[in-house]
C-alpha cells in the first residue's frame, strides 16, 4: 500500500514537472493572460507582457528572470505596473492581434491606453534594464511627483518659473531608420546599403556600432545612403526582399535589389564594398588628388621628373 502511495506521489510530481516544461514557464508570479481576461486586466492596471511560445529556447532562458521581476513588481503596494505573460500557442489570435512576430516579444501596455498605445521593449533582458525601462516609462504617469529633471525648485534643469531649461539637441545620426511608410520612397532612387535586422538577434547587436560608424563615414557621399529596417516590425518589406536571416545586408539601387553582401563585417571591408559598388568614393578622389600634388615644387610649379630637385654641392661652391 505504501509503495503504491509513493508511486502515485511520484507520478503527481512528474506530472507537475512536465506541465512546467510544457508551459515554458516555471513561474507562477506573473499573471497568465488569455483572450478571456486580457482586456479586463489592462483596464485595471498597466501591464508589462511577455508574448512567448513554450518551445522557444529564448523564452525558456528568460522565464526565471521574468518570474523574479513579477514577484517584485506584482507585490508592490502602489500597483504601478503588473507583469504578465501570454502563451501564443494557446492564444494565437491574441498574439496576432498585438502584432507578435517573434518570441519572446515584450510590450508595455498602459492602463486604459489600449493596444494601440503599447510600447515595445527593445533593451537588454535583465532585471536592471527591465526596472529602468518601467520606471522611465511609467514615472510621469504615476502621479507620484515631477518627472526626472523637473524638481520644481529651479535645480537639476528646471527653472523656478516652471519653464523647462534649454537642453542641448540630440545628435543627429546619418544612419536612417526606415519604416513601412518611408522605405519605398527612400530607396526609390540612388544607391543604398540597407541592413535588415531583428532586435533580438545577437549578430545584429554586434554589428550595430560598426553600421553606425559606416553611416557616419559616408555621410558626405551625396549619392549613397546607409540605412536599416526592423524586420520584426515591418515583416512584409523584408519578405518582399527575400530576407531569410539576420542581419541581411543588401545593396539596392533605384528601388531594386542588386546584390546581397556576404563578406566580412568590419568597417574597412564594408566601406571597400560600398566603394566598389558605387564606382568610387569622394574621399578616395580627394586622396588621389593629394597624392598627385606631391610631385609639385613649392609655389605650385610642376617638377621635371628628369631633373633632380636635390642640388649637389662640392667643396668649391658649398
What domain range is 268 assigned to? 176-278
Split into its structural domains, the chain has a count of 2
Same domain, 115 and 188: no
Cα(4)–Cα(9) distance, integer angstroms: 9
- For every residue of 201-226, which 3-state class applies, written as one string? CHHHHHHHHHHHHHHHHCCCCCCEEE
- Proportion of the chain above pLDDT 70, given as a percent: 67
Residue 21 covered by a domain: no
- Proportion of the chain above pLDDT 90, given as a percent: 42
Instruction: Give the model's pLDDT for residue 292.
Output: 44
Average of per-residue pLDDT across 135-141? 69
Instruction: Give the model's pLDDT for residue 79.
Output: 74
Same domain, 203 and 271: yes
| For residue 136, pLDDT beyond 60 | yes
pLDDT band at 315 (very low <50, low <70, confident <90, very high): low
Same domain, 191 and 258: yes
Same domain, 35 and 131: yes
Residue 188 covered by a domain: yes
| For residue 226, pLDDT beyond 90 | yes
User: Which domain CATH number covers 264?
Assistant: 3.40.30.10
Last residue of a domain, one of 102, 135, 168: 135
Residue 317 covered by a domain: no
| For residue 269, pLDDT beyond 90 | yes
Residue 10 covered by a domain: no
pLDDT band at 154 (very low <50, low <70, confident <90, very high): very low
Cα(290)–Cα(308) distance, integer angstroms: 21
Average of per-residue pLDDT across 79-83? 87
Residue 81 covered by a domain: yes
Same domain, 180 and 273: yes
Q: Is 211 exposed, middle or buried (CB count within 10 Å of its CB: 0-12, 13-18, 19+)?
A: buried
CA 232 from centroid of its chain's CA atoms? 10
Residue 91 covered by a domain: yes
Query: Which three-class secondary structure state does DSSP give residue 75?
Result: coil
pLDDT band at 233 (very low <50, low <70, confident <90, very high): confident
Residue 45 covered by a domain: yes
More confident residue, 29 or 292: 29
Cα(268)–Cα(275) distance, integer angstroms: 11
Last residue of a domain, one of 260, 278, 296: 278
Residue 314 covered by a domain: no
Amino acid at each position: 500500500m505504501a509503495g503504491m502511495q509513493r508511486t502515485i506521489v511520484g507520478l503527481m510530481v512528474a506530472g507537475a514537472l512536465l506541465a512546467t516544461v510544457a508551459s515554458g514557464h516555471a513561474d507562477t508570479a506573473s499573471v497568465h493572460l488569455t483572450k478571456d481576461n486580457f482586456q479586463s486586466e489592462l483596464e485595471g492596471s498597466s501591464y508589462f507582457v511577455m508574448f512567448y511560445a513554450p518551445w522557444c529556447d529564448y523564452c525558456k532562458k528568460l522565464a526565471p528572470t521574468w518570474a523574479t521581476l513579477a514577484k517584485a513588481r506584482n507585490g508592490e503596494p502602489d500597483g504601478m505596473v503588473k507583469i504578465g505573460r501570454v502563451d501564443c500557442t494557446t492564444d494565437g489570435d491574441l498574439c496576432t492581434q498585438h502584432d507578435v512576430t517573434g518570441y519572446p516579444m515584450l510590450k508595455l501596455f498602459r492602463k486604459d491606453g489600449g493596444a494601440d498605445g503599447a510600447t515595445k521593449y527593445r533593451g537588454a533582458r535583465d532585471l536592471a534594464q527591465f526596472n529602468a525601462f518601467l520606471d522611465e516609462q511609467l514615472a510621469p504617469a504615476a502621479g507620484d511627483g515631477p518627472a526626472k529633471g523637473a524638481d520644481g525648485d529651479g535645480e537639476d534643469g528646471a527653472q523656478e518659473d516652471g519653464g523647462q531649461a534649454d537642453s542641448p539637441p540630440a545628435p543627429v545620426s546619418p544612419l536612417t531608420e526606415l519604416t513601412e511608410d518611408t522605405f519605398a520612397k527612400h530607396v526609390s532612387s540612388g544607391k543604398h546599403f540597407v541592413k535588415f535586422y531583428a532586435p533580438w538577434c545577437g549578430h545584429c547587436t554586434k554589428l550595430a556600432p560598426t553600421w553606425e560608424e559606416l553611416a557616419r563615414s559616408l555621410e558626405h557621399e551625396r549619392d549613397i545612403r546607409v540605412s536599416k529596417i526592423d524586420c520584426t516590425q515591418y515583416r512584409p518589406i523584408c519578405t518582399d526582399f527575400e530576407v531569410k536571416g539576420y542581419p541581411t545586408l543588401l545593396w539596392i539601387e533605384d528601388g531594386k535589389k542588386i546584390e546581397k553582401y556576404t563578406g566580412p563585417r568590419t568597417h574597412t571591408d564594408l566601406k571597400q564594398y560600398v566603394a566598389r559598388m558605387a564606382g568610387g568614393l569622394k574621399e578616395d578622389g580627394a586622396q588621389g588628388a593629394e597624392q598627385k600634388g606631391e610631385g609639385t615644387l613649392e609655389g605650385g610649379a610642376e617638377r621635371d621628373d628628369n631633373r633632380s630637385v636635390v642640388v649637389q654641392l662640392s667643396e668649391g661652391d658649398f
